[in-house]
Structure 1
Amino acid sequence: MKFSTISNIGKVRSQNQDYYGNLEIDNQCFFIVADGMGGYKGGEIASRLATKYYIEFIKNSDIKSYKSLIDLQEDALKDANIKILDLSKTHEEYSNMGTTVVCVCLDYDKKTYHITHIGDSRAYIYTDNELHPITRDHSLINDLIDSGSLTKEEAMNFDNKSAITRAVGVSETLRPESRSCDMKDGDYVLMVTDGLTNEVSDLEIESIIASNNSADIISSNLVDLAIKKGGHDNITVTTIMI
Structure 2
Amino acid sequence: MKLKVAYKSIIGKIRPKNEDNASFFYDQSNNILAIVADGIGGNRAGEVASKMAVDGIGKRFTNQQIQTVKHASKWFQNQIDFENQEILAISMHDQHLKGMGTTFVGFINTGRNYVICNIGDSRGYLFRNTELTQLTEDHSYVNELLKAGKISKQAAATYPYKNVIVRSLGISSNAEPTISDGRILIGDQFLLCSDGLTDLVSESVIKLVLQSNRSIAEKCEKLTEMANQNGGSDNITVLIIETRADQGVDNHG
TM-score of Structure 1 vs Structure 2, range by shorter chain: over 0.9
Whole-Å Cα distance in 2 between the matches of residues 67 and 233 of structure 1?
A: 35
Structure 1, residues 68-96: CA drift from partner, whole Å, max 9, x if none? Answer: 21111121121111101100111111111
Q: Which amino acid counterpart does residue 35 of structure 2 have in structure 1?
A: I
Whole-Å Cα distance in 2 between the matches of residues 87 and 102 of structure 1?
A: 21
Q: Which residue of 2 aligns with 1:73?
A: 76
Asked whether the equivalents of residues 141 and 160 of structure 1 are also in contact (C-alpha less than 8 Å), the reply is yes
Whole-Å Cα distance in 1 between the matches of residues 24 and 157 of structure 2?
A: 35
Q: Report the more deviating stretch, 201-210 or 49-58.
A: 49-58
1:4 is aligned to 2:16: no
Shift of 1:197: 0.5
Asked whether the equivalents of residues 27 and 107 of structure 1 are also in contact (C-alpha less than 8 Å), the reply is no
Cα 1:157–1:179, aligned 2, differ >3 Å: closer, same or farther? same
Cα 1:65–1:151, aligned 2, differ >3 Å: closer, same or farther? closer
Asked whether the equivalents of residues 13 and 232 of structure 1 are also in contact (C-alpha less than 8 Å), the reply is yes
Shift of 1:154: 3.7
Shift of 1:120: 0.6
1:152 is aligned to 2:153: yes
Identity %: 34
Whole-Å Cα distance in 2 between the matches of residues 40 and 215 of structure 1?
A: 33
Query: Tell me, what secondary structure is at the counterpart of 1:68?
Result: helix
Where does structure 2 lack aligned partners over 5 or more consecutive residues?
244-253
Q: Which residue of 2 aligns with 1:24?
A: 26
Q: Which amino acid counterpart does residue 14 of structure 1 have in structure 2?
A: P
Q: Which residue of 1 aligns with 2:164?
A: 163
Q: Which amino acid counterpart does residue 53 of structure 1 have in structure 2?
A: G
Asked whether the equivalents of residues 39 and 93 of structure 1 are also in contact (C-alpha less than 8 Å), the reply is no
Q: Which amino acid counterpart does residue 149 of structure 2 have in structure 1?
A: G
Cα 1:152–1:63, aligned 2, differ >3 Å: closer, same or farther? closer
Report the number of matched residues: 240
1:198 is aligned to 2:199: yes
Q: Which residue of 1 aligns with 2:174?
A: 173
1:92 is aligned to 2:100: no
Query: Tell me, what secondary structure is at the counterpart of 2:103?
Result: strand
Where does structure 1 lack aligned partners over 5 or more consecutive residues?
none
Q: Which residue of 1 aligns with 2:104?
A: 101
TM-score, scaled relative to structure 2: 0.90
Query: Tell me, what secondary structure is at the counterpart of 1:218?
Result: helix
Q: Which amino acid counterpart does residue 17 of structure 1 have in structure 2?
A: E
Shift of 1:66: 8.7
Q: Which amino acid counterpart does residue 37 of structure 1 have in structure 2?
A: I
Cα 1:62–1:29, aligned 2, differ >3 Å: closer, same or farther? closer
Q: Which residue of 2 aligns with 1:83?
A: 86
Query: Tell me, what secondary structure is at the counterpart of 1:131?
Result: strand
Structure 1, residues 195-226: CA drift from partner, whole Å, max 9, x if none? Answer: 00010000000001111241111101101100
TM-score, scaled relative to structure 1: 0.94
Asked whether the equivalents of residues 123 and 191 of structure 1 are also in contact (C-alpha less than 8 Å), the reply is yes
37, 40, 54: which one pairs with 2:40?
Answer: 37
Structure 1, residues 82-112: CA drift from partner, whole Å, max 9, x if none? Answer: 101100111111111100000000121xx11
Q: Which amino acid counterpart does residue 146 of structure 1 have in structure 2?
A: K
* Aligned-pair Cα RMSD in Å: 1.6
Whole-Å Cα distance in 1 between the matches of residues 181 and 57 of structure 2?
A: 19
